[in-house]
Structure 1
């Protein structure tokens, strides 16, 4: 079957449950488990323990790629590239991160609010013009984040079909053909290298221009890392929002329709709900890893368990976000209550997701303005009939037929 943009993806016979129903490990002390390839890892599930692992400099990503590191996965994708900013630690990581962090501060993202609002309203105008029935994925959850990241990166001329093709392969899961992934990544990297060269010679007011000018001025960042960073920003910049928004609407319209009126009448309430959904709904299945993988540089005690130098841990942020010791209402209680503690949905420590504020703004505005414009919106299929976008590290509905 084809994705909403024509990209070929795997689909399912509906055997998979919606992401908000995904069964997660019970939070408890660190315990042994294995990756699909047999490599032993420590599974970390309690909120305090996961937060410690993510913020303690003795837990590293770069050592996952050291010569003596155990094998983790056979999947070739951006997430497993040792050149990625996300797989660097300490000053090497910060040197690259500083080139983009100003573009993603809360103040910077707030300046984008009028423009993001206009994109949302334009998509809603088109939905209403076309009339019911409609597919909320092709008409709303996909074009919104694609438009935003394309404008931010100055790539408005890039076709959505091409962007999605590269994105579907950039963080490919085990279901993707390795040769197809390799070809797509080469094409994607060539595009990013050409884009960097173009902005280096003719800079604009976009993020790529800021990135390349800052990197050239400060020095010390190899071109391969800049290429990898551009690719990572393009994918992560829309993939998370696409995934969360699709899964959120499936949950709200399918199981919590009583919330719809409040979402549309109160943007502040929509913001609280957006934070709660980002916190509760995982982005993907466990696939080839049970959490964020890190490796210890020395012996460390976590939750009363001694983890030896060189061992690998899997920090399960989704399970930690349901830890009843920190989040008593974690089991889908009041969706409009402020979170009882900082969510780990975007990570913590030096690898905290730089796009957090942009994702939150898009989800908040998308839900609020959709519910206000279409207060009687409803899905036209049962949850059990949903087909899924698979083949990547995230999972969300392939389509969401709806009417009003």
Structure 2
């Protein structure tokens, strides 16, 4: 899942506290599970305000969100034009004007072509047996460890880290260092602006060093493939390459970890009656994965109300004329719950095929490159876990969950389970 999608389903805000303070942990303990959050009721575009004070048009209906994400008059690059109003209070991974996320048109297509071959459904299918073996290995270790256990530390965090490490040739990557960089790169209120800039600088240096290593000794990995494609095109800058590499590292593990953890909070709690069916076959797990991706957000949306775009000319959306220069937020979570398009809820629809496209991975030119990889990891992770541990249950009530918070995403920091 892309960094933009994870951010838009959560938010960016003011850096005022630390992620590990006693007060922060106490506050996190009373947060509701993500599937219990209330969404905006879909309706015509309406005006709101970002934490920076910048006015923003909130777009919530399914058809309107699709238009915002696919209309070339609404782009990412204009958000960082010289005359653009501020859209974030603290620095974050999404703010680099040279990143693929913030480039539109033919230049964006050119950059995207350098990485998309590794993420096609056909390419991802070749990884399925290996990802399944990683899943089974982690489950063996979890079961050997014994009940109770923290399933975040044993399963939801190491799985996507192992997959993206293999894909990018990062064997031996320090998981704690990666978590440190990712948490700072996606921080809202967890860290100070100074701490975020320092971590992003370290992360960029890591990306530059990795690129230098692959240039000296290319391998069969995504980074080497990126460099070969860049050399062939001849017009991708070094800064863009570094941005691509560190963006892939974060997006390749953070959002899958977050989605899997939040899905388990639902499935082992309010959705407990469906746990056995997840174990029945991979197709049931695949269908449930789509519904969970649609209905369970990645974050609280306290600061950033949607996938941001800026109008380069007057645009009519849902019967409302949005003036040129305006910032627009496409609320994918509200659109994914639009009662004109989707009926029922997770309790009634978990194993029902989607009746329309969802926008969890965005749409249009900036549709998440890693969507198929995320789907595959989640399907296998849920199916194999339910099959191996049919009696899995929470070891503590939902109110006791310790949350990762103050970031663009929110997920369990720990999740004690028993069987």
TM-score (norm 1): 0.97
Q: Does 1:402 align with 2:417?
A: yes
**Structure 1 residue 235 corresponds to structure 2 residue 250:** yes
Counterpart check, 1:381 vs 2:386: no
Matched residue, 2:207:
192
What is the aligned partner in structure 1 of residue 56 from structure 2? 41
CA contact (8 A) 2:291 2:346 kept: no
Quick one: distance in 1 between partners of 2:73 and 2:389? Answer: 50
Call closer, same or farther: CA 1:233–1:25 in 2, change over 3 Å: same
User: 1:350 aligned to 2:380?
Assistant: no
> How far off is 1:11 after superposition?
3.0
Instruction: Name the SS of the counterpart of 2:309 in structure 1.
Output: strand
Relative contact order, higher structure (CA 8 A, sep 6+): 2
- Please tell me whether the aligned partners of residues 168 and 391 of structure 1 are also in contact (alpha carbons under 8 angstroms): no
Give the distance between the partners of 1:72 and 1:355, measured in 2 at CA: 25
CA distance in 2, matches of 1:77, 1:102: 27
- CA root-mean-square deviation: 1.2
Instruction: Give the counterpart of 1:76 among 85, 91, 106.
Output: 91
Deviation string, structure 1 residues 247-277 (Cα, Å, up to 9, x no partner) = 0000000111111111012111011001100
1:214 offset after TM fit, Å?
Answer: 0.6
- The answer to whether the Cα contact below 8 Å between 1:174 and 1:288 also exists between their aligned partners in 2 is no
> CA separation in 2, counterparts of 1:156 and 1:12?
36
1:12 shift after superposition: 4.2
Counterparts of 1:5-404 in structure 2, within 5 Å, are 8=20, 10-13=24-27, 14-330=29-345, 332-404=347-419
CA distance in 2, matches of 1:133, 1:331: 27
Question: Secondary structure of 2:262's partner?
Answer: helix
Contact 1:280–1:321 (CA<8 Å) still a contact in 2?
yes
Q: Distance in 2 between matches of 1:379 and 1:96?
A: 44
Q: Deviations over 1:364-395 (max 9, x none)?
A: 00000000000001101111111210131000
CA distance in 1, matches of 2:189, 2:150: 28
User: Conserved in 2, the CA contact under 8 Å of 1:174 and 1:287?
Assistant: no
Give 1:286 deviation, angstroms. 1.3
Contact 1:168 1:392 in 2 (8 A): yes
Query: Number of residue pairs matched?
Result: 398
Structure 1 residues 377 and 320: CA distance shift in structure 2, 3 A: same
CA drift at 1:329: 2.2
Q: Within 2, Cα distance between the matches of 1:80 and 1:390?
A: 20
User: CA, structure 1 residues 46+331, in 2 after alignment: closer, same or farther (shift >3 Å)?
Assistant: farther
- Offset from partner CA, 1:86-125 (integer Å, 9 cap, x none): 1110111111111110000000000000100000000000
